[in-house]
């Protein structure tokens, strides 16, 4: 993913322009527009298309940035409940509830639909990896056995996103079941039945 970064002044013109661009992308995605272009986004946001070309390498990069902003919060930490099992259950439950909201699901589906080729980096995966590392780090400091970041991403987080992307049912108990499966496969004895 090639996102060009520029210095911004908090609350300044750049922040207002970014907000209008993010809103325009959200509206277009929400309306089910396919094949979104910089021209459409610029028109909806009330900016010159060159503003978009200067900051983002292509529409996919912008769409991913907006999706990451919609699906994660900068500096967001996973819950700290005192055990790896309850930390993971609470975190997975929050993620499941958040990404299954209709507006979040639309962003996620649009981002996936916009991808044509394999990517070497994914900002959402990076954010979720950092959060998993935080959960694992706390558990290790408490002396608890832990699953790996890869196990958490592949067997807890990915199935949640999969269900939302494909509009499959995601019941309240699903995150707990995924966590218990991961703890069982990683030799961490689940506390709850």
Band (pLDDT 50/70/90 cuts) for residue 192 is low
Residue 4 pLDDT more than 80?
Answer: no
Q: What is the second-level CATH architecture of the domain 13-71?
A: Orthogonal Bundle (1.10)
Three-state SS for 148-177 is: CHHHHHHHHHHHHHHHHHCCCCCCCCHHHH
pLDDT digits (tens, 9 = 90+) for 149-191: 999 999 999 999 999 999 999 999 999 999 999 999 887 666 6
Query: In this structure, how many other beta carbons lie within 10 angstroms of the beta carbon of residue 92?
Result: 23
pLDDT for 153 equals 97
Q: How many residues does the chain have?
A: 193
Residue 19's pLDDT is 84
Could you give the CA distance from residue 138 to residue 87 in angstroms, rounded to a whole number? 10
Domain map of the chain by residue range? 13-71, 84-185
pTM flag (> 0.85): no
Q: What does DSSP assign to residue 117?
A: S
pLDDT in tens, 117-151: 777 777 788 889 999 999 999 999 999 999 999 99
Helix (H), strand (E) at residue 178: helix 174-185
Phi, psi angles (nearest 5°) of residue 8: -125, 150
Q: To which H or E segment does residue 86 belong?
A: helix 84-99
- Looking at the chain, the whole-number percentage of residues with pLDDT higher than 70 is 86
């Amino acid at each position: 993913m090639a996102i060009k970064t520029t210095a911004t002044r908090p609350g300044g013109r750049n922040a207002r322009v970014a907000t209008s661009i993010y809103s325009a992308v959200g509206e277009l995605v929400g309306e089910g527009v396919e094949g979104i272009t910089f021209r459409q986004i610029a028109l909806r946001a009330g900016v010159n298309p060159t503003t978009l070309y200067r900051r983002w390498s292509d529409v996919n990069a912008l769409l991913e940035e907006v999706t990451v902003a919609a699906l994660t919060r900068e500096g967001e930490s996973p819950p700290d409940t005192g055990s790896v099992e309850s930390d993971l259950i609470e975190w997975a439950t929050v993620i499941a509830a958040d990404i299954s909201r209709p507006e979040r699901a639309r962003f996620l589906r649009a981002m996936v639909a916009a991808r044509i080729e394999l990517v070497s980096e994914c900002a959402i995966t990076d954010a979720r990896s950092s959060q998993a590392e935080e959960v694992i780090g706390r558990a290790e400091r408490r002396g608890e056995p832990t699953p790996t970041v890869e196990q958490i991403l592949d067997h807890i987080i990915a199935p949640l996103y999969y269900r939302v992307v494909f509009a499959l049912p995601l019941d309240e108990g699903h995150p707990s079941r995924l966590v218990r499966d991961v703890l069982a496969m990683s030799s961490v004895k689940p506390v709850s039945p």
